[in-house]
Structure 1
Amino acid sequence: MSRDFLIIGGGVVGMAVAYGLARLGRRVTVLDEHDGSLRASRGNAGLVWVQGKGLGMPRYAELSLHSSESWPGFAQELTARTGVELEYERSGGVDLCLDAQEAEARQAAYRTLYATTPTLTAMRWAYLDREVLREHLPGLGETVHGGTFSPHDGQCNPLYLLRALYAACLTLGVDYRPATSVSAVEATHAGFTARTPTGAISAERIILAAGLGARTLAPSLGLSGQVRPVRGQLLVTERLPPGGRLPSPQIRQTASGGYMIGDVLEEVGYDTGVTLETLHSLGERAIQIYPDLARARLVRTWSALRVMTPDGSPLYEASRNCSGAYNLSCHSGITLAAFHAKELAAAIDTDRLATTYGDFSGARFDVQAIG
């Protein structure tokens, strides 16, 4: 079987790009890990979020805003193709500030980014104090200072998104191979080859969307392996009646009724365990935000490892040494899915990744290290 693209990694990033390339008529094979592997795509909060993205890199903010604007059509298209409802809604979102100091720092950072970056003039946001915020977050706790609101923010079910991408790719002829781990990749005279337990698999071009696996696979193709794991932990409550509350990074109610409680960043290497100390802290904060949740039962908890670059912004790069090899890493795969499936896939297909998105190359980390 002749393949145009070989994609290493079947998470949201890899499958969104596979979907985009397949829509362009390309022959794509995706090699995925087994179910027990590290999967950020199955351990996130499902936010399609704009505000706060790109505080150190305005171009990242631009991509987030653009992808958010494209998400309604993207979700509708996937559902039409597959019948999978993504539980997507875009009613706005609130990033809470628990005290005045946090509120002042947040507003100063947003003014710097959104007021001084000409291309972000379309970004709408406002700081709402607790009294105003209660209209959007009924039952908000008395000790919460307020929060930043943006109408661009939304939420979805990330598991249904991934399921829809799998289904859509299969209908378009993508050759998806689960439980096919890749031990090495290499350039050949005819393209690229991936080494797997079942043998070598080749294609004309190769895309690494391997998450933390890029640390070992990317350098052999002249690509950056500078990603690290950052753990997040989540609590989930029992199903409760709809509260009419907008989502936030700290807590959101899912379509099924349960509250997802999270938003922690832990530098603990590859440890995927959960800790009572962190879970207790998350529970206390949830009750501070919504006191009525003190009566809710907790039904499960888990942790997952984010794929984090040195500056927290996405990594999109084309190899200088091996033409036709690309590397994609980011921890905003849900928010950027619409962009990945369209503009990013098109840029890879026409080999414009380096020229169109060159500022996202891993070369920026070498400059930072020298500086």
Structure 2
Amino acid sequence: MRTLPDQEIVVVGGGLVGAAIAWGLARKGVRPLVLDGEDLAHRASRANFALVWVQGKGIGAPHYARWTIGSAKLWPSFAEELEEASGVDVALRQRGGFTFALSEGEMTMWTEEVQSVAAALGEDAPEHVLLDHAGTARMVPAIGRDVVGSIYSPLDGDVNSLRLFRALHAGMVNLGACYQARSDVTEILPKDGGFLLKGAWGEVFAGRVVLAAGNGNTRLAPMVGLSAPTVQSKGQILVTEKCEPFFPYTSTTIRQADEGGVMIGDSQEADTLSIATSQDISTVLAGRAARTFPQLSQVNVLRSWAGFRVKTPDGLPIYETSPIHPGACVVMCHSGVTLAANHALLVADAIAGRKATLADDRFSGRRFHVPQH
């Protein structure tokens, strides 16, 4: 078994969250070792929709809405700095996003959600516009007759997800981080002055450890006195052949990437452990996409894949330092792209500065601890 040299800090997980934290740490002069799993592991980073999205987020949780809005506003400066460090343009577009309704019931439901968030935020609420079919068609002429209306928010956008992943990895290494793949961590033992991390690859002692292993945090967090519960949530995505540009904005269900291909998604499965795609779900996704943009009925689907979201019981992130093992913390969320700017520029700074609170304390995993009577 190979033993690695002692480290100041180890980030467990090299997905979007772990890579953003590692890039942010390296940016502050802290050089982390990133221990990542197998390349074909069921990582959420390979199945994301690449949205920078605020519309409707934070129902019943205005602190989360503000956290999301703040990250979206940081994205332009983050993307610029990331390109400087990595040489990779992540193709950030923040021209606005649409939620398309295919029935009056959908329009009513989504309008109530957006207005609920706006009411809770008051003057901090992001701009949104309610549009009927005609108003939507003026902005997006390619929509179909089945679109009864939409909600438009100018702060929403997207990126090229594969370029973002590559930029974070190239950038963190360029800034001094060390990355080691095929290094699943199976055990963490708190020791005097730090932590011993073990796996089939060997072991390493670290003064501090950041758990950013997505769904793997559920298993690892209790080893350092933390809790990171998750619920099953699987999503499926279709990708079409490249098309002429027809949709210069983005949406939660359909987006045309900068290269021309169209991504179609937004499915939810909570009762399966299979990573396989479902033909039934693909049919529903494709059908809704063709009703929204009829021209897509003539476009070939090239790829389809599924992935498991990192989703806590209430859907909100967890940011917490260990109360009993100083130097250990957990960072996890579902919206790894939207929140990447916050993770790289704010949370990483808090970790580098050894702050006891990494973000709003309401994001602590302690919120799931229900007293026993």
Q: What's the TM-score once normalised by structure 2's chain length?
A: 0.95
Q: Tell me the distance in 1 between the aligned counterparts of 2:189 and 2:272.
A: 27
The equivalent of 1:62 in structure 2 is: 66
CA positional deviation for 1:218: 0.9
Query: In structure 1, the residue corresponding to 2:234 is in which secondary structure?
Result: strand
Which amino acid counterpart does residue 221 of structure 1 have in structure 2? V
- Which moves more between the two structures, 6-15 or 77-86? 77-86
Q: Are 1:343 and 2:341 counterparts?
A: no
The equivalent of 1:29 in structure 2 is: 33
State which of 239, 247, 251 in structure 1 corresponds to 2:250: 247
Query: In structure 2, the residue corresponding to 1:117 is in which secondary structure?
Result: helix
State which of 178, 197, 201 in structure 1 corresponds to 2:200: 197
Is the alpha carbon distance of 1:113 and 1:190 closer, same or farther for their aligned partners in structure 2, counting shifts above 3 Å? same
Q: Are 1:75 and 2:71 counterparts?
A: no
Is the alpha carbon distance of 1:8 and 1:302 closer, same or farther for their aligned partners in structure 2, counting shifts above 3 Å? same
* Structure 2 contact 247–255 (Cα < 8 Å) conserved: no
Query: In structure 2, the residue corresponding to 1:187 is in which secondary structure?
Result: strand
State which of 219, 224, 236 in structure 2 corresponds to 1:221: 224
State which of 49, 52, 63 in structure 1 corresponds to 2:53: 49
The equivalent of 2:326 in structure 1 is: 323
- Gaps in structure 2 of 5+ consecutive residues: none
The equivalent of 1:111 in structure 2 is: 115
Q: Tell me the distance in 2 between the aligned counterparts of 1:351 and 1:107.
A: 41
Q: Tell me the distance in 2 between the aligned counterparts of 1:258 and 1:148.
A: 24
State which of 238, 253, 262 in structure 2 corresponds to 1:259: 262
* Structure 1 contact 212–229 (Cα < 8 Å) conserved: no
CA positional deviation for 1:143: 1.4
5 Å-filtered alignment, 1:284-299, equals 284-299=287-302
Q: Tell me the distance in 2 between the aligned counterparts of 1:194 and 1:72.
A: 36
Q: Are 1:100 and 2:74 counterparts?
A: no
* Structure 2 contact 228–312 (Cα < 8 Å) conserved: no
CA positional deviation for 1:121: 2.1
Is the alpha carbon distance of 1:353 and 1:150 closer, same or farther for their aligned partners in structure 2, counting shifts above 3 Å? farther
Query: In structure 1, the residue corresponding to 2:217 is in which secondary structure?
Result: helix
Q: Tell me the distance in 1 between the aligned counterparts of 2:284 and 2:266.
A: 11
Deviations for 1:288-332, whole angstroms, at most 9, x for unmatched residues? Answer: 101111111111111111010000011111111211110111110
- Which moves more between the two structures, 304-313 or 198-207? 198-207
State which of 12, 17, 24 in structure 2 corresponds to 1:8: 12
CA positional deviation for 1:198: 2.5
Q: Are 1:173 and 2:179 counterparts?
A: no
The equivalent of 1:302 in structure 2 is: 305
* Structure 2 contact 102–146 (Cα < 8 Å) conserved: yes
* Structure 1 contact 5–28 (Cα < 8 Å) conserved: yes
Q: What's the TM-score once normalised by structure 1's chain length?
A: 0.96
Is the alpha carbon distance of 1:353 and 1:129 closer, same or farther for their aligned partners in structure 2, counting shifts above 3 Å? farther
Which amino acid counterpart does residue 86 of structure 2 have in structure 1? T
CA positional deviation for 1:171: 0.8
* Structure 1 contact 7–206 (Cα < 8 Å) conserved: yes
Query: In structure 2, the residue corresponding to 1:144 is in which secondary structure?
Result: coil
Q: Tell me the distance in 2 between the aligned counterparts of 1:282 and 1:370.
A: 43
Q: Tell me the distance in 1 between the aligned counterparts of 2:277 and 2:295.
A: 25
Query: In structure 1, the residue corresponding to 2:139 is in which secondary structure?
Result: coil
Q: Tell me the distance in 1 between the aligned counterparts of 2:84 and 2:275.
A: 36
Q: Tell me the distance in 2 between the aligned counterparts of 1:269 and 1:307.
A: 15
Deviations for 1:114-140, whole angstroms, at most 9, x for unmatched residues? Answer: 12324x625111111111111332221
- Gaps in structure 1 of 5+ consecutive residues: none
CA positional deviation for 1:270: 2.5
Which amino acid counterpart does residue 190 of structure 1 have in structure 2? G
Which amino acid counterpart does residue 277 of structure 2 have in structure 1? V
The equivalent of 1:277 in structure 2 is: 280
Q: Tell me the distance in 2 between the aligned counterparts of 1:270 and 1:328.
A: 23
* Structure 1 contact 32–179 (Cα < 8 Å) conserved: yes
- Which moves more between the two structures, 356-365 or 67-76? 356-365
Which amino acid counterpart does residue 352 of structure 1 have in structure 2? K
Query: In structure 2, the residue corresponding to 1:228 is in which secondary structure?
Result: coil
5 Å-filtered alignment, 1:352-363, equals 352-354=355-357, 356-363=359-366
Q: Tell me the distance in 2 between the aligned counterparts of 1:321 and 1:214.
A: 17
* Structure 1 contact 212–228 (Cα < 8 Å) conserved: no
Query: In structure 2, the residue corresponding to 1:5 is in which secondary structure?
Result: strand
Q: Tell me the distance in 2 between the aligned counterparts of 1:150 and 1:360.
A: 26
Q: Tell me the distance in 2 between the aligned counterparts of 1:207 and 1:305.
A: 21
CA positional deviation for 1:227: 1.3
* Structure 2 contact 7–204 (Cα < 8 Å) conserved: no
CA positional deviation for 1:352: 2.6
Query: In structure 1, the residue corresponding to 2:280 is in which secondary structure?
Result: helix
